[in-house]
Structure formats: C-alpha cells, structure tokens
Amino acid sequence: ETGVTQTPRHLVMGMTNKKSLKCEQHLGHNAMYWYKQSAKKPLELMFVYSLEERVENNSVPSRFSPECPNSSHLFLHLHTLQPEDSALYLCASSQARTASYEQYFGPGTRLTVT
C-alpha cells in the first residue's frame, strides 16, 4: 500500500485559493495518471504522463494544471476551482503506458471546494 503515496489526504479550499496535490510512486514505474472519483460515477481519467511527457489530457478545465518533474513525482495544481470540483482525486502509476499493465493507485486526496 505504500507504493503510491498522496498528500494531503484531505484538503478544503475556497474558490479563490491556489493549492497543489502531490503524488509519489516508489515502484520504478514509467507512467502516471490523475483520476477524479465522484460518487456513483465512473472514474474520470484526467491526465496521463508517460516518461514525464503528458500524453493524454481528457478535456480537463484549465483550472487543473498537472506537472510531472520526474518519473516518480506527479503534481496537480489547482486554482479558482468550482464547488463541483469537490471529489476524491486519485493518482496511479503503471510500469508503462501499455494496455496490458495494471495500475497501482494511491489512497487519494479528498478535496472539498467551498
């Protein structure tokens, strides 16, 4: 369970705040992912990084800005969020961005936008 860590675990922020979510993987993987999990909805894949290059951006609003400085770290920078952005944000990694590899997930950051 310590293969992928996320901080903070809980975050409450106002609509005008700027904050960042951090993800770190200790598995030597080359691909990392950000997901949004809302109740009773399918997991929404937000961003995919492969070898530190963003390879997928699924129509995510610009108020979410990802950053991948190296293969072990992934950030999600947040600014001027909306209440509907409140959700559990999950980070995941996989050995490579290849369909056959399973993903390893962190525990998530529970975000509340007030």
Partner 1 sequence: AQSVAQPEDQVNVAEGNPLTVKCTYSVSGNPYLFWYVQYPNRGLQFLLKYITGDNLVKGSYGFEAEFNKSQTSFHLKKPSALVSDSALYFCAVVDNFNKFYFGSGTKLNVKP
**Angstrom distance (rounded) from CA 106 to CA 22:** 11
Query: Closest CB to partner 1 among 18 and 58?
Result: 58
State both tokens at 114.
């007030």
Which residues would be at the binding site for partner 1 (CB under 8 A)? 1, 4, 6, 40-43, 45, 90, 92, 97-100, 102-108
**Angstrom distance (rounded) from CA 57 to CA 40:** 23
Query: Closest CB to partner 1 among 9 and 77?
Result: 9
95: DSSP letter? S
Residue 51 one-letter amino acid: L
**Angstrom distance (rounded) from CA 5 to CA 51:** 19
**Angstrom distance (rounded) from CA 95 to CA 56:** 17
Query: Closest CB to partner 1 among 78 and 109?
Result: 109
Please report how close the Cβ of residue 99 comes to partner 1 at its closest, in angstroms. 4
Query: Closest CB to partner 1 among 38 and 114?
Result: 38
